[in-house]
Amino acid sequence: MAQEETVWGETEVAGQELIRETASAIVGKLNKGEVTPLDLLDVLEKRIAEVDGKVNALPTLCFDRARRHATELMKKPAGQRGLLAGMPLPIKDLFNVKGVLNTQGSPIFKDAISEWSDIFVEHLEGNGGVVYAKSNTPEFGAGANTFNEVFGATLNPWDISRSAAGSSGGAAVALATGMAWLAHGTDMGGSLRNPASFCGIVGLRPSIGRVAHTLSATIDRNLTVHGPMARNVEDLALLLDAMSGEYPADPLSLPAPSTTFLSAARSGRKPKRIAYSPDLGITPVDPEVAAVTRKAAQRFAELGVIVEEAHPDLREAHECFQVLRAFDFAMTKEKLLRTRRDLLKPEVIWNIEEGLKLTVEQIARAEAQRVEMTARTVEFFRSYDLLLAPATIVPPFPIENRYVAECAGKKFDNYVEWLAIVYAITLACCPALSLPCGFTASGLPVGLQMVAAPRGEAQLLAGAKMLEDVLGVRGTTPIDPRAPK
């Protein structure tokens, strides 16, 4: 095997073999007392020192805080430290971790230290998670390319001249390069799924309410959800178990299911009938991406699953998402536009201003469109167990491009329209993940978007694990960052 194709390389040092372990295996070692959370933090700190300067995924580190937390956790017997048992993980730099810098990728907050932790952080730490870093993100998570004026750009480790996508780009790169076993992300218009696709890892957007969150602006603000990121489906399910659960401060949060998501992933439950669509009927797609994802979807046929080409009617997705996204920005960022406009990037200013122009009639129309698309999608899942499509419509693009301006001859009207294949699923309230499914001719990862009916995470994870086993792509990460070919 050529050197550039190796999973790790010759730079492995004592203790670094742990980096290649799955998260599930690491938790097993923690529960048996074979390693300690402090051991893992030492391994990560060394790996970050070796790798992160090449990709800029984890700009804020908090190892002192992590070691204090780990030391307290270790006062409990091994096996009684929560689902994660002391597993370290990074948090996206849009959310509060008490005592840690939270820039939100904005010069406005470049020195902001959080005085409290968000609900999901408290929940993760209560479940044995140990926070050691904040992962890089675009300014306020706006745009599917991870760069900002505070820390700069995060680079794709498969080719450091390429974008890692976003907005959970730092998290995806940390996983792909062995600087994390598990990572937190969020998703509005594919912010978990896009970087998972570009970086060859797995990212899941859960159903609304699956992961409790700190309320902001409105009680039912739900375009964005928190979700897990990992290198394989079982590890993804493990983190979803640790993130899930009812929380009184989030009235819409769901109770944890009686059967764990990890058990569901391992269940072997096979879908009977699935649908594949190269474009969901609403977007151009790069022909190579379409070919790779179609080939992956067809592998289900080897398992005796019926595979048909179909998709729900999502024709209103563009208008609906543009309105609801703009309204969200207006609700949450209007004050910053008035007081700190000079420090906002142009795309954020555009989103806020578009939101402030909206009429009640436009918002009502968009909400009605979302209801109709969700109803049609739920009906679609009466016939199909899963819906498959590309997770992104292009392979990783050059890092200097702020966004994808054109695909397959179609020029886009704005910086988010190229994300329709994921934001349409957001609008339909479905859980969806990106699964590594192959590579382009130039060796760049391609992700397959897998979608289930609302609250169908168990079936989704079972199907994803089954396809992952067939595809044989699991294990291609972690990698050392690679120079352009």
pLDDT of residue 16: 76
CB 362 within 8 A of CB 330: no
The pLDDT tens digits of the residues spanning 331-371 come to: 999 999 999 999 999 999 999 999 999 999 999 999 999 99
Q: Is 92 annotated in the active site? A: yes
Q: Which of 192, 34, 182, 168 is nearest to 105 (CA)?
A: 168
Active-site choice (92, 134, 333, 465) = 92
Phi, psi of 225 (to 5 degrees): -130, 155
pLDDT of residue 294: 98
Tokens for 411, please give them.
């020029």
Q: Is 98 annotated in the active site? A: no
CATH number of the domain where residue 18 is located? 3.90.1300.10
Give the end-to-end CA distance of the chain in Å, rounded to a whole number.
17
Burial of 72 (0-12, 13-18, 19+ CB in 10 A): exposed
pLDDT of residue 121: 98
484 in any annotated domain: no
- Averaged pLDDT, groups of 10, the chain, 485 residues long: 39 70 98 97 98 98 98 96 98 98 98 98 98 98 96 98 98 98 98 98 98 95 97 98 96 96 98 98 98 98 97 98 97 96 95 97 98 98 98 98 96 96 98 98 98 98 98 95 94
Mean pLDDT in the chain?
96
The number of C-alpha atoms within 13 Å of 219 and in the hemisphere containing its C-beta is: 6
- Where residue 95 falls (left for φ over 0; alpha for ψ -120 to 50; beta otherwise) is beta
CA distance 459 to 450: 11
Residue-range definition of the domain harbouring residue 204 = 3-471
Count the domains in the chain. Answer: 1
pLDDT of residue 15: 66
Q: Which of 33, 58, 35 is nearest to 47 (CA)?
A: 58
478 in any annotated domain: no
301 in any annotated domain: yes
pLDDT of residue 485: 83
In terms of DSSP bridges, do strands 306-309 and 130-135 run parallel, antiparallel, or are they unpaired?
unpaired
pLDDT of residue 14: 45
The pLDDT tens digits of the residues spanning 431-446 come to: 999 999 999 999 999 9
Q: Is 216 annotated in the active site? A: no
Instruction: Give every strand in the sheet of 88-92, ordered side by side.
Output: 60-61, 130-135, 88-92
Alpha helices in 229-281 (DSSP H): 233-243, 261-265
pTM above 0.75, yes or no: yes
Element (H, E) at 131: strand 130-135
197 in any annotated domain: yes
Q: Angle CA(350)–CA(354)–CA(357) in degrees, nearest 5?
A: 145
477 in any annotated domain: no
The full length of the chain comes to: 485
Instruction: Give every strand in the sheet of 202-205, ordered side by side.
Output: 182-187, 225-230, 202-205, 432-439, 445-451, 386-390, 273-276, 306-309
Active-site choice (24, 106, 163, 191) = 191
Active-site choice (163, 167, 197, 277) = 167
